[in-house]
Amino acid sequence: MNALAATNRNFRQAARILGLDAKLEKSLLIPFREIKVECTIPKDDGTLVSYVGFRVQHDNARGPMKGGIRYHPEVLFLHYYYYFYSFRASPFVDPDEVNALAQLMTWKTAVADIPYGGAKGGIGCTPKELSTSELERLTRVFTQKIHDLIGVNTDVPAPDMGTNAQTMAWILDEYSKFHGHSPAVVTGKPIDLGGSLGREAATGRGVVYATEALLAEHGKSIKDLTFAIQGFGNVGSWAARLLHDLGGKVIAVSDITGAVKNSNGIDISALIQHKEKTGKLADFSGADFMDSNDLLTHECDVLIPCALAEENAGDVKAKYIIEAANHPTDPDADENIQGFMWDEEKVNQELKRYMTKAFHNIKNMCQLHNCNLRMGAFTLGVNRVARATLLRGWEA
């Protein structure tokens, strides 16, 4: 089952639980707009190459749409263009995947009760194979193609897999050429351009706050438990660091370069330094090498998947699973139109307040509808968007 089919299935189950009529259900499921653009840029060697970009804007009933822009070749097709008598292969992001992620952003912003809808975008490319100047040109051309369809009151992009604060700075600058200075058009931008303090750690920190809330329901705390973390990028590394700081024992970590384990607990600061220096987890002296495929089934109390979805889960031994993939938390609302900036402590306090409140609201839905946490989150999010849709008179 692909990502869109799985997301639609969860949505329809939530719609049945909530008793939504067929007309409203269909209205909530269909994206507001799907955008597909061709982005042709000159490479540093002078040759031309074309990439395909997508932006799916799912729903704006509760506010402007919001979601990341992903640069990644995963789940791609090959599309050929003819340039100067030579074929050039241009991978592009699977539109079903982008559609599913946009829809999920709608429900997630509603669960967190922040005034946004959902969107998602991407360009099928391999960032590591492009120079900085090529990435800049690609980002600017993509922005030129979609600038009239995004904006602070319409759709606010953010970093995602393969993009970062610098990418957002390029989007901000290119967009501002058409619309005047517009720092609020993106979130996740550099601090010097109006970005939010604490943003880099925010998603990983949100994962930790959600973990604390779940464990508290079961009379447990982070310092008493062992953790395995799949994915050691921004989200996974920050979650690991914060769990370690709170006394949790991170006993296994994996990423695309490999996996390491230590039953006595991994020194996360040392592991981060090792990866920054070598670019990989392998050969870290403070842990033993393990097969990356064994991470999800490693013996631990809490499993935290922070990477792309994988098939196997039947043999998971963890007592609790905290899903952190696909940016499940998004505190980017901290960056506002007026440009007021909270200090980092205030950002973290508000993030914890929103995450904890969202968890308890999900639990209430679980008790009301006798369902699991996943369906509790879906019913909470779908119900809030459905109410906004009805109040606006959009169900027809």
| Structural tokens at position 140 | 């600017």
> Which helix H or strand E contains 273, and what residues bound it?
helix 268-278
Residue 75 has what pLDDT?
34
Q: Give catalytic residues, as residue numbers.
A: 120
Is 172 within 8 Å of 159 (Cβ atoms)? no
Rounded Cα distance, 225 and 156, in Å: 38
| Reported pTM | 0.85
Separation CA 352–CA 213 (nearest Å): 10
- Amino acid 267: pLDDT: 96
For the four alpha carbons of 131, 159, 235 and 162, in that order, the dihedral sign comes to negative
Closest CA to 301 of 210, 205, 206, 211: 211
How confident is the model at residue 381, as a pLDDT? 97
In the prediction, which pLDDT does 313 show?
Answer: 54
pLDDT of amino acid 2: 75
φ/ψ (deg, to 5) at 39: -115, 105
Please give the Cα distance from 385 to 377 (Å, whole number): 12
> Is residue 44 classed as helix, strand or coil in its secondary structure?
coil
How many CA atoms lie within 13 Å of 65's alpha carbon, on the beta-carbon side? 27
Contact at 8 Å (CB) between 227 and 320?
A: no
pLDDT of residue 334: 36
Spatial distance between the Cα atoms of 249 and 262, rounded to a whole number of angstroms: 9
Write out the chain's pLDDT in tens, 396 residues: 677 888 999 999 999 999 999 999 999 999 999 999 999 999 999 999 999 999 999 999 999 999 999 998 853 433 333 333 333 334 445 667 888 999 999 999 999 999 999 999 999 999 999 999 999 999 999 999 999 999 999 999 999 989 999 999 999 999 999 999 999 999 999 999 999 998 889 989 999 999 999 999 999 999 989 999 999 988 999 999 999 999 999 999 999 899 999 999 999 999 999 999 999 999 999 999 999 989 999 999 999 998 765 555 567 889 999 988 653 333 343 345 545 578 889 989 999 999 999 999 999 999 999 999 999 999 999 999 999 999 999 865
pLDDT at residue 314, rounded to an integer: 61
